[in-house]
Structures are given as C-alpha cells and as structure tokens.
Structure 1
Amino acid sequence: MPAPPAASDHRGDLAEIVVDVAAIRHNVRTLRELTGVPVIAVVKADGYGHGMVESARAARAGGATWIAVVTVQEALELRSAEYDGPLLCWLTLPGVDLGRAVEEGIDLTAYSVAELDDIAAAAEAVGRRARVQIKVDTGLHRGGAPRATWAEVFARARAGELAGSWKITGLWSHFACSDEPEHPANDRQEQAFRAALALAADNGLQPGLVHLANSAAAVLRPSARFDAVRCGIAIYGLDPAPGRTPDIGLVPAMTVRSELAMVKELAPGDAVSYGQRWTADRPTTVGLVPVGYGDGIPRHAFHEGGSAEVAVGGKRRPIRGTVCMDQFVVDLDGDRAEIGDEVVLFGPGADTPTAQDWAEACGTINYEIVTRIGGRMTRTYVDSEAPAGEEPS
C-alpha cells in the first residue's frame, strides 16, 4: 500500500493539490483483484479533480483495461497525450463533429437512432468504420435509450453493422442507487439490463463489452460485474458508498494543503468574517488560510450546525465564520502557530481530515469535494512507490 505523499516545497503558492499516482495504481489493482474482471477507469471531469491525463496513465499502469470519459473533447485530449488504448466516451450533442473521434478509434456511445445516424455519417465522411457502444436506460432516467426504443435502436445498430458503418463494441447502463445496496431499484435495473442483453441478441448484436457496475456496484454487487466494472471515484481511493463499503484497502490519492497567511488573537465577543456568523466565546487564536470558494472551497464549509476541519500542528482545527472567495479562518484554540505553518485541508493521513469528512460537514458527497477543488491552487504529482529522486511516471 502506498505511503502518504511526503511534503513538497510549495512556498509561494496559495495552496497545493498533491496527487499520488501510486495510490491510483494501487486502487486499480485492488479493484481488479476484488472483482476478478477488467476495470474501466473513469477519468472524466479532469480525473475527478486529480488530472485527467495523469490519472489515465496511472490507471493503465495499475492494470485498467479501458479508460472512459464523458465528452469527445476529453477523449481527443487523451489521444493527443499519446494514449492509444481502448477509450470510451458517452455524451455527444447534435452538431458535434464526430469524424476525428472515429478516425482516432474512440468508442462513441449512442442512445438513439438519430445518434447512430450521425455516427454513420461521420464514418462515411472519414472512410473508416466507427466503434460504437449502446447505452440503455434501465431506470436512472438520465442518459441512455429509453426502454420503449430499445428494439428500434438495436435494429438500427445491427443494420449499420451489416452495412459496415460501425462495429458494436459494447452495451451498458448505469445504476441509480448502487450506493444503497438494499434499494429495490438495483434489482429492477439489473433485471432490465439482462432483458436488454437478450433483446440485443435477438437482433443479432454481439457486443464485445457488457458493463453495468459503477464503483459502488463493483464492490457491493457481484452479480452486476458482467464483462468489466466501470470505476470512477474508487480509483481515486474514496469510498463510493460511505458507511456501507467494507474496507478493501483503497488509498486516497489527493492531499490538499496550504499554509497560514496570518495568525491573530481574538478576545471574547470578537466576530469573524462576513455576516459575523461566528463569535469567539473565549480568548483564542485564529489562523488565516489563503484559499476560498474561488478555489473550490465550499462556502457552506462553515454553517450553523458545524464546520469542516483542517489539520494544523497535528491537530484538527474547525473553520470559523463564512468562507470568503479567497480565504477562510480556522480556530487554533489558543495554541501557538506561526505564519507559514502547514495547513492540510484533507488527505489520507491518520490525523488529517478526509474528503469524506469535508463532504459530511458540507452536506454533500466526496465526489463533489475533490472534483470542485482547484482554482488558483497548484497541482503536483508524486509517486510514493518510486525510488527517492525519481519523477512520477
């Protein structure tokens, strides 16, 4: 298991996001061993805040068979970064030029006959057979072919295959409630997915890759693993179903840290930040952390019911008062601290708040915490498994 990343020199930066690529490799290996099937590593939204290209490289090094993103633009960026392996994208809009994606061998996802027609036109324009996966809606009622259209979509998919427009390389869907393993929607969706597979076979389709399970289902629902599992948040070491997932040894890959920009003393009755929503009830010291909601820190990290915490001097320190665009204040509880002392917002350390801690304090999910973080922060990559002095691969 990778060790927590060592401190790096981030002086002069407001804050630093440190991503340990060894943790991503480790998590992919762990998921492969647990599930016994190939892993499709999802690196959409800039790798959930970890960096899309670097996360893809680490995931592949950890044994991920496929890489998946949402947009054609993301997929093309990976191709430009010299990733030439299997690559899936799953959301396009009318009018998007699909020709280069076809030329680059990117698997395009279709939800409708109209999308298949667009792919056929792109394939004809560039003179190359496309790679297509079909996504069916089994109950999430977001993207994917509605059940009433499955027959016509499958028929068009087969016709295009026979005409040489494309190869149908996969069929997939997505759970709505996999992080709640006892939710009845999970059984309904899996049953619907199996019905879609049967109907696709009746139409002569033999999709090469059948996948349904996202991170939570990959861990909690073995019957949904099929040909591969499609893992996003878990490859970054975060719990896809907090409170329900057994400890399988995932390691958080992201650490966010800054340093104190100011330390001052408060007297009882002194109020802090906009709206003066927190007032000291005792003499205390507070520290100023030079990042805020302009850098992805949730403004509701402080609220009437409590607050998120950071680590300063080996202790957890609560945020006090409204989070501002560029800064927030933490209560040092009278302890001595100096300008420049390290502040760890969240990370994998034993005495450090986690992204899940922040999610619970902010009333959201760990996905949002890591994905939104950034702004003016510097992102640094480390490899805790590499020999000293060796650059991350």
Structure 2
Amino acid sequence: TILHKDIQFDMVRVGIGLYGLHPSKLTIPRIDLQPVMSVRGRVTRVIYPAVGDGVSYGMTWRVPRNNIQVATVPIGYADGLARCLSNRMDVLTRGDRVRQVGNICMDQFMIAVDTAGTHANKPAHEIRHGDVVTLIGKDGDQEITADEMADLRETINYEVVCNFGARLDKVYI
C-alpha cells in the first residue's frame, strides 16, 4: 500500500515498517522510516594475543601484528547472529567501526582492534571489559543497519531482525 495510493484505505498492514525498516528499496523515496531496533552486547573478555595466534574455533583468523587486542562479546548464532558473517562483519564500539574476527560461536563472537592505530581497523583506544558493542544501530556518528547485515548475508532485513531471539535481553524505550 505504500506504493499504490489507489488502495490506501483506513487500515494498514505495517509489516517491517514497525521496525522502521523499508520492505524494499522502492519505498525509500515514498515514506520516511527511521530504524527503531538496536542490537548491543558488552565486552566480557579482553586479551592481547601473540602474533600468529588463532582466534575462535578453526582459527580462521590469526593475529597479524603486535598491538592487536581481541575482545569477546557474548552473542552468538544461538542468539540469531548468523555464523556466515564470520570474518565478514563489522561492529561499533566507542564510535568506531571494528572487524569481527574468527568464527562466530554459539554463544559469543570476537572483535579485533589495532590499539596502535596503524591499520584501517584503527581505533587508537583500548577496548575494556564492559564496553558496549553495537551489532545493529548507532554509536557516535557511525551506524550499522539491518539492511547492511542483510546484504552481507544475502537475505532480507526481515530475516535479520526476526533472527535475534529470546536469549537476548530486550529493553523497550
């Protein structure tokens, strides 16, 4: 009904618009929607592994140089974070975009930060236990959208937001 004025009556099926998301790129110029859902976790572990150390099951990512900090966030594929995003997605922390590294596990995933600021993945700060990590949403002037995550998964934004499940705490604002 967003695209067809002739069938807009006195009721509406909101669908994915309830999340502030567009059902397709065709509706973007027609209606202003703002995302209302964020997915966030907190860092539970921080280490400085040695150069060459592998991260997570299968060690699909190895520490490439010194000054790399690896942090663990307790959200995994049992919570709806697709394992196919392993080594492919970014998250936000302290307003910076950082890379997820290693295989996403059932209950956790890891991120890597170059604390020396010598790489594109370069916040020049250290991650600390308890820091907020944003998977979907805004942090500072950065944003990761459900559509961005859907594109990486080669799916639709509906699937992304529906996959985050009951194990995650919900905070309604």
TM over 0.5: yes
Match of 1:380 in 2: 171
Task: Give the unaligned 5+ runs of structure 2.
Answer: 116-124
CA distance in structure 2 between the aligned counterparts of 1:373 and 1:275, rounded to whole angstroms: 25
Distance 1:280 1:221, change over 3 A: farther
CA distance in structure 2 between the aligned counterparts of 1:265 and 1:364, rounded to whole angstroms: 35
**Identity between Structure 1 and Structure 2 (%):** 39
Letter in 1 for 2:169: T
TM-score of the two chains, using structure 1 as the length reference: 0.38
Match of 1:340 in 2: 130
Q: Answer whether contact 1:319 1:329 (CA < 8 A) is retained.
A: yes
Q: CA deviation at 1:224?
A: 4.4
Residue 370, structure 1, aligned to residue 161, structure 2 = yes
Letter in 2 for 1:294: A
Letter in 2 for 1:358: M
Match of 1:21 in 2: none
Q: CA deviation at 1:228?
A: 4.0
Letter in 2 for 1:346: I
Q: Answer whether contact 2:2 2:27 (CA < 8 A) is retained.
A: no
Letter in 1 for 2:111: V
Q: CA deviation at 1:244?
A: 6.0
Count of residues paired in the alignment = 162
Deviations 1:86-138 (A, max 9, x none): xxxxxxxxxxxxxxxxxxxxxxxxxxxxxxxxxxxxxxxxxxxxxxxxxxxxx
Distance 1:376 1:227, change over 3 A: closer
Q: Which structure carries more helix by proportion?
A: 1
Matches within 5 A, 1:1-393: 218-225=1-8, 228-242=11-25, 245-246=28-29, 248-283=31-66, 284-302=68-86, 307-334=88-115, 335-348=125-138, 350-382=141-173
Deviations 1:42-85 (A, max 9, x none): xxxxxxxxxxxxxxxxxxxxxxxxxxxxxxxxxxxxxxxxxxxx
Q: CA deviation at 1:323?
A: 0.5
Deviations 1:340-376 (A, max 9, x none): 1111111255413111121122222111111110232
| RMSD, matched Cα | 2.1
Match of 2:118 in 1: none
Q: Answer whether contact 1:278 1:320 (CA < 8 A) is retained.
A: yes
Match of 1:78 in 2: none
Letter in 2 for 1:337: I
Report the 3-state secondary structure (helix = DSSP H, G, I; strand = E; otherwise coil) of the residue aligned with 1:294.
helix
Task: Give the unaligned 5+ runs of structure 1.
Answer: 1-217, 383-393
CA distance in structure 1 between the aligned counterparts of 2:108 and 2:53, rounded to whole angstroms: 18
Letter in 1 for 2:70: V
